[in-house]
Amino acid sequence: MVYVFFLLGIICNGIASYTLKLLASSEVNLVSVETLKQPLLYITLVLFALNVGFYALFIQKVNLAIGYPAFVGGTFLVVLGLSFFFLRETLTPLHIVGIVMILGGIVIATR
């Protein structure tokens, strides 16, 4: 079950970061009252809240020294995938090397 919390947490965090980027890229000034009228703001806040809940459940079952880096690395991979596929951001060979290293680190750290 701990891996379910891990996956749900990093997915919520990654999608929340993606929706925040979409909101920030819109024509609405983020520091205005108009932002409060944007449904995407509330979706983002709910996703971040779910992320915190799943992270808390995950970290309750694993050592912090292992869980935190795995969670951050996993979120990095989700955000990288979302930005590549949906925002059409570039992915260089160096990024791919980094992805492989992060995946390897997560696997090694969680064993």
Taking only the tens place, the pLDDT of each residue in 7-54 is 999 999 999 999 999 998 887 777 778 888 899 999 999 999 999 999
pTM above 0.85, yes or no: yes
The candidate with the shortest Cα–Cα distance to 55, out of 44, 70, 45, 40, is: 70
Q: Predicted confidence band at 105 (pLDDT cuts at 50, 70, 90)?
A: confident
Distance CA 25, CA 16 (A): 14
pLDDT at 1: 92
